[in-house]
Amino acid sequence: MPLNYDLHSHSIASDGTLTAAQLVTRAHAQGVDVLALTDHDVTAGLAEADAMARTLGLRLIPGVEISVTWQSRTIHVLGLNIDPLDPILQQGLAGLRVARERRAQAMGEDLARRGMAGVYNGAKDLARGEIISRTHFAQFLINQGFARNMQRVFKNFLVPDKPGYVPGEWTSLSAAIAWIRGAGGQAVIAHPARYKLNAAGMQWLLKEFKDGGGIGMEVVSGSHSPSDYQAMAGYAKQFGLLASAGSDYHGPENAWLELGALPELPAGCVPVWQDWRI
Ligand code: AMP
Ligand code: MN
Ligand code: MN
Ligand code: MN
């Protein structure tokens, strides 16, 4: 039996709803052999995840999902097998958390100006870790009855031209790759099909990423469609990038997405884990 890899997931350290220990326990129960915890801009869940992984005999890959601004868009870059104690990485992530806090306050002010007071405080109460994200705002808006579910709230709020939208000011692509490599990790572009790039834009991104020292891209992802798998496999081959697979699991509320339930990589992909000693 090939090992079951799920290399993208979130805990309450960022915008997931399970604790790191609960996440690892669930991954184990779902048959995951190798799990990466990749919280947004924070590594605070890794120690707890690692302790539970050792207890259960699951292999935990220490990871992070770094917020990047590239050509006025937000791109997410995964760092896999990072050393969470690396000081330069931690300094960079701390800066991103400051930018998150600043953006959250501006989002709250924008919503208040439009007659929705108290959303910043409500989102802050829902954030159980060191970062505040749009997910926390979205959950509060749902709890308050402003939207029915996550899909609806990200259609009508918190996105360009809608109430509560404030663009993130994240780090550069080259800095994110450098932090990850400096911490001994591998840089992988998260869910590339989600950025609404045309073919020229995708090639620009992937070339710049590869030239900067990035080594992989998610081909199979919880936020990719089956036709995306094929298209992304083609790009990975074209640019000599390794292929990764991750659910991007945020918690059991999202009933259609489960840990460890990903299809195999398309034929011809070279897995990001090919040289890992598991
Ligand atoms: P942030 O990094 O604070 O801008 O928040 C981005 C997070 O919001 C993502 O990591 C997702 O967890 C969540 N998100 C963004 N768009 C959607 C969507 N359409 N449906 C559900 N969750 C979303
Ligand atoms: Mn998220
Ligand atoms: Mn992401
Ligand atoms: Mn993610």
Q: Give residue 255's pLDDT.
A: 84
Residue 199 in contact with residue 236, Cβ under 8 Å?
A: no
Q: Give residue 278's pLDDT.
A: 84
Residue 158 in contact with residue 164, Cβ under 8 Å?
A: yes
- The type of residue at 48 is E
Which helix (H) or strand (E) covers residue 63, if one does?
strand 59-70
Is 225 near ligand 1, meaning CB less than 6 Å away? no
Phi, psi values for residue 246, rounded to 5°: -155, 145
CB atoms within 10 A of CB 53: 23
Q: Give residue 225's pLDDT.
A: 96
Q: Give residue 245's pLDDT.
A: 98
Indicate the top mutation candidate among 105, 134, 162, 166 to test ligand 1's pocket, ranked by most ligand atoms within 8 A of CB: 134
Is 244 near ligand 1, meaning CB less than 6 Å away? no
Is 38 near ligand 1, meaning CB less than 6 Å away? no
pLDDT along the chain (278 residues), means of 10: 96 98 98 98 98 98 99 98 98 98 98 97 98 98 96 97 98 98 98 97 98 98 97 98 98 94 97 94
Q: Give residue 1's pLDDT.
A: 85
Closest ligand to the CA of 134: 1
* C-alpha of 98 from chain center: 18
3-state secondary structure 167-212: CCCCECHHHHHHHHHHCCCEEEECCHHHHCCCHHHHHHHHHHHHHC
